[in-house]
Amino acid sequence: MKNYYDILGIDKKASKDEVKKAFRTLAHKFHPDKKGGDAEKFKEINEAYTVLSDDQKRSQYDMYGQNFAGATGGNTGGFNWQDFASNPGAGGFNFSAENFDFGDIFANGFDLGSIFGGRQRSQTKRGRDISIDIELSFEEAIFGVERAILLNKVSVCHVCSGTGGKKGTEIISCQTCNGKGKIREMKKSIFGSIEMTRACNNCAGSGKVPKEKCSSCDGLGILKKEEEIKIKIPAGIDNGEMIRLSGGGEAVKGGTSGDLYIKTHVKKHKTFHKEGNDLVMNLDVKLSDALLGAKIDIQTLDGLSTLNIPEGINTGDILQIKGKGVPEHGRNRGDILIHIRVALPKKLTKSAKEAILKLREEGM
């Protein structure tokens, strides 16, 4: 079985930029039109790049290996590499790879599938995701809390609400793309001159622009600023759990904002730990209380609660305080589970020893 990562000489955790960089280097080296090129090796390199540069195909390949649908020949459209190796000018291709810079086409998100009859991918622009960490007390994690945080990020302009135009200004056709929202460009590649279409930078692909620009963002519709964001921490959240705030990331002109990811770090409690919707604690009980029974005040997260210790309780027994545990969906609550540990005295007074000897004589 071919290992696409080995073919490109990269680690399995390599980023998309690293995949692209490795492909450019190897494709330039082994291109069959170059002296010392290798058509079979070039085909293999392209096959590996076709899979590893596509998030969905890469995920399937990582899971199933080459057995996943579309692992081989995914974007080739039946292209005959043997013909290309023996006659690089076949099929209308007539281009020398000498001193060719692959960055000319790949820097613009070029898709190899467009060469072989596939469609060029059209994706909506999306802002950068942001990830932050937040520390919570044990009580805040149990009952939930609302936090306000300050983030310095690229946001939608509050003056023009992202339109980029002065309030009340006329919206006109973009002069750069003549209102089409797209610009066609000719790029040279190893396969010849290829026509590519990209979104117009001036209007962000909309084909429309404001006649007068917003003075706050200079017509961009976005700007970097400090923004207060309120985060609702749900009751019962666990340590290390992630909260996703859709649209809370950075904004981008002509697209959608990224997301904000909040990772929670919950401080440990001196008494309780969480098991599902229950709070669990240990309780040391004096021998006399274990034998005779007692009433003990327990400090819960809601305040003091009285716990009845029954006569004859043993180490390992579990007592329960109902309805004082973790809230479930804001309504029902779990319980407090109390693990009993009977504390035996290390030394006995003379009278205590005599009493215990008497109990022994009675067979207890």
Q: Determine the Cα–Cα distance for residues 102 and 25; give it in Å rounded to an integer.
A: 9
Residue 200 labelled as part of a binding site = yes
Residue 217 labelled as part of a binding site = yes
Residue 214 labelled as part of a binding site = yes
Q: Determine the Cα–Cα distance for residues 234 and 325; give it in Å rounded to an integer.
A: 15
Residue 203 labelled as part of a binding site = yes
Two structure tokens written together for 143 = 């009952």
CA-closest candidate to residue 78, choices 39, 116, 121: 116
The widest CA-to-CA distance across the chain, in whole angstroms, is 109
Q: List the strands of the sheet with 318-321, edge to edge.
A: 273-275, 278-286, 336-343, 318-321
Residue 189 labelled as part of a binding site = no
Q: Determine the Cα–Cα distance for residues 34 and 193; give it in Å rounded to an integer.
A: 18
The DSSP annotation for 276-330 comes to TTEEEEEEEEEHHHHHH-EEEEEEETTEEEEEEE-TT--TT-EEEETT-S-EETT
Phi, psi of 80 (to 5 degrees): -95, 100
Instruction: Tell me whether strands 294-300 and 327-328 are parallel, antiparallel or unpaired.
Output: unpaired
**Which amino acids are annotated as binding site for Zn(2+), given as ranges?**
157, 160, 174, 177, 200, 203, 214, 217
**Which amino acids are annotated as binding site, given as ranges?**
157, 160, 174, 177, 200, 203, 214, 217
